[in-house]
Amino acid sequence: MSADATETPSRLPSKKVLGLFALAMINVAAVLSIRNFPSMAIYGWSCIGWYILGAVLFLIPISLAGAELATGWPEGGGVYAWVKQAFGEKGGFTALFCEWSNNLVWFPTVLSFVASTLAFALTPALANSSWYMFTVMMIAFWGTTAIAYFGEEASTKFSNIGVILGSIIPSILIILLGLWWLGSGQTLVLPHLTLGAMVPTINLSTLPFFATIVLLFAGMEMAGFHALETRNPQKDFPRAMALSAAIIVVCTVLATLAIAIVIPADQLNLASGVMQAIQYFFNAAHIPWLVAPMAVLITLGGVVSLAAWLIGPAKGLGIVAEEGNMPPMFNRTNKHGAPVAVLVIQALIGSVISLLYVFLPSVNQAYWILSAMTVELLCIVYILVFASVIKLRYSQPDKPRAFTIPGGKAGVWIVGGLGLFGTTLAFIVGLMPPSFFSSNWLTYVFSVLLGTFLLAVPPLVFLKFRQPGWLMPAGQVEVKK
């Protein structure tokens, strides 16, 4: 163990409410995003090759690394607990804070998807109303925060039901409609499938897309934040990783292809492409009245995805504060065990950013820089995770692990090495400015790196000015009645 990786203080007893299915659904909720399907569908058959690339360089490595780390160190805290064991408190705190801070800019993007998708169930013209968008975004954001307030059991029930209704069922329905489209003799917009058609074209214009592909499956580690509420983490974590990965891959690849064969790439609207495809399907099947119910379900899926990212890193920050690395305010929990202070702080910050996002379209370039920073921050998280799984094989070889990456040290180097290569390359190409960015590229790169540094450095500041009074007596957690 690293010298400054101290033992975690005793926590209040946690209810063991999570089993295999619940853990798998947490990952599915965090990763399976229907709103990403249209952006992949524009690549036609080559989206298969892009997905394979993302699976080899990220999905498979993070699933295997997450399973080994979660079963070896199931103390709670997710990436914080894992990276801390390998690189001490500074490393663990930095990994966790980067995962939390990137959410602050990501929240408005998923909230806008929720609001615009719900408009299809009401009247699509509402998506052009700033007041409608902001109102629905705030209802979804604060409503999800309120559910998290009632603790793990309430959040788990909501996620289990929501991810099935809002993500898995719509994905399966899109797949079934695609099969119906094939069987009914409808016109296909893609040419015949060949091996060459599946190979992605990688050049300077498509290289920035690589970062999107690698991080398309980001969130597979989310179940690790809930280790303390898991009945049998050593047994259930690896199985949950395998189950969630299988569900995500099948739903993502087949649903993307279903959209690709129906709508020509030059007609695909990336913002509303899912509902666009569904309208195509349902109009052809003479059941247009089903568009509105599907819009409601997909809206629910967006809210569930938000919920998974909202609660996981927040719980991790609560554990960091419990260990005396942040002011006691961040350690405040309610009687349900929810980190109320962190939930409220992130909801307030996310609301302000959403307000600017909706009402100040002139900040689009600045927002693009913030979005690029989320990529860089996530890459920092995963670089530390992959480095940790390798280092811990050497620093703690005798630590019991219910699951280990097969192949011994060579196997862990292959898996961790692939993950490190993928995320490092994603970090580099994430610094490439988009074609529409008007300022020079040096300004863009400097802005992204500076913003990434400012969002990653707070853990070092907290640790530098840490006070003895921040650490509460073992066994105590500040509880707000």
Phi then psi dihedrals of residue 480, to 5 deg: -95, 120
Q: What's the half-sphere exposure (Cβ side, CA atoms, 13 Å) at 169?
A: 16
- For residues 354 and 357, what is the distance between their CA atoms, to the nearest angstrom? 5
Assign 270 a pLDDT band (cuts: 50, 70, 90): low
- For residues 408 and 410, what is the distance between their CA atoms, to the nearest angstrom? 5
Type of residue found at 93: F
Phi then psi dihedrals of residue 457, to 5 deg: -85, -20
Assign 337 a pLDDT band (cuts: 50, 70, 90): confident
Has residue 369 got a pLDDT over 80?
no
- For residues 414 and 267, what is the distance between their CA atoms, to the nearest angstrom? 41
Q: Which residue has the tokens 């005798």?
A: 398
- For residues 462 and 283, what is the distance between their CA atoms, to the nearest angstrom? 57
Angle, to 10 degrees, between the axis of helix 291-322 and the axis of helix 79-122?
A: 150
- Contact (Cβ atoms closer than 8 angstroms) between residue 273 and residue 263: yes
Sign for the pseudo-dihedral over CA of 454, 321, 108, 425: positive
- For residues 246 and 171, what is the distance between their CA atoms, to the nearest angstrom? 14
Tens-place pLDDT, residues 280-333: 778 877 888 888 888 898 888 888 888 877 777 887 787 888 888 888 888 777
Select, from the ranges 227-236, 241-250, 349-358, 417-426, the one with the highest average predicted confidence (pLDDT): 417-426
Assign 410 a pLDDT band (cuts: 50, 70, 90): very high
pTM above 0.85, yes or no: no
Tokens of 187: 């016109």
- For residues 371 and 387, what is the distance between their CA atoms, to the nearest angstrom? 25
Which string of DSSP letters, residue by residue, matches 289-329?
GGHHHHHHHHHHHHHHHHHHHHHHHHHHHHHHHHTTSS-GG
- Contact (Cβ atoms closer than 8 angstroms) between residue 121 and residue 288: no
- For residues 155 and 258, what is the distance between their CA atoms, to the nearest angstrom? 32
| 3 state DSSP class of 201 | coil
Has residue 425 got a pLDDT over 80?
yes
Assign 11 a pLDDT band (cuts: 50, 70, 90): very low
Report which secondary-structure segment, H or E, holds 334. Answer: strand 333-334
- For residues 273 and 295, what is the distance between their CA atoms, to the nearest angstrom? 12
- For residues 111 and 368, what is the distance between their CA atoms, to the nearest angstrom? 16
Task: Put residue 234 in one of left, alpha, beta given phi > 0 → left and psi -120 to 50 → alpha.
Answer: alpha
Closest CA to 474 of 16, 13, 8, 1: 8
Tokens of 242: 């395998």
Which residues neighbour 301 within 8 Å (Cβ) at sequence distance 6 or greater? 32, 34, 162, 163, 165, 166, 167, 170
pLDDT reported for residue 139: 92
Q: How far is CA 449 from CA 140, 187, 211, 331, 353, in A?
A: 31, 47, 16, 30, 20
pLDDT reported for residue 479: 47
Length of the chain: 481
Domain ranges of the chain: 20-466
Tally of helices (H runs) and strands (E runs) in the chain: 17, 2
Fold observed for domain 20-466: Amino acid/polyamine transporter I (1.20.1740)
| 3 state DSSP class of 333 | strand
Tens-place pLDDT, residues 169-186: 888 988 988 888 888 877
Q: Which residue has the tokens 């190979």?
A: 199
